[in-house]
Amino acid sequence: MLDLTPLARFGDRVATGLLDVTDDPAALDSTGFWAVAADFEGRLTCARFREVREQRVPAPVPGAWRGPAAGDWTSSLDRGAYTTAVRRIRDHIAAGEVYQANLCRVLSAPVPSGADVDALTALLARDNPAPYAGTIRLPGHGVEIATASPELFLRREGRVVESGPIKGTGRTEDDLLEKDYAENVMIVDLVRNDIGQVCDTGTVTVPDLCAVEKHPGLVHLVSTVRGELRDGAGWPELLGAAFPPGSVTGAPKSSALRIIDALETAPRGPYCGGVGWVDADRGTGVLAVGIRTFWIDRTAGGDAVLRFGTGAGITWGSDPEGEWRETELKASRLLAVASGTYEVSEGTQR
What is the set of active-site residues? 151, 167
Q: Quote the CA–CA distance of 313 and 331 in Å, as a whole number.
A: 15
Q: Which residues contact 262 (CB under 8 A, 6 or more apart)?
A: none
Amino acid type, 288: A
Contact 100, 186 (CB under 8 A): yes
| Degrees, nearest 5: CA angle 36-42-44 | 25
Closest C-alpha to 168, from 156, 153, 186: 186
Q: Quote the CA–CA distance of 29 and 25 in Å, as a whole number.
A: 8
The torsion angle over the Cα atoms of residues 70, 41, 261 and 148, rounded to 10 degrees, is -30
Cα–Cα distances in angstroms (integers) from residue 98 to residues 82, 105, 311, in the given order? 18, 20, 17
Burial of 228 (0-12, 13-18, 19+ CB in 10 A): middle
Give the DSSP H/E element, type plus range, for residue 39: none
Q: What are phi and psi of 196, to 5 degrees?
A: -60, -20
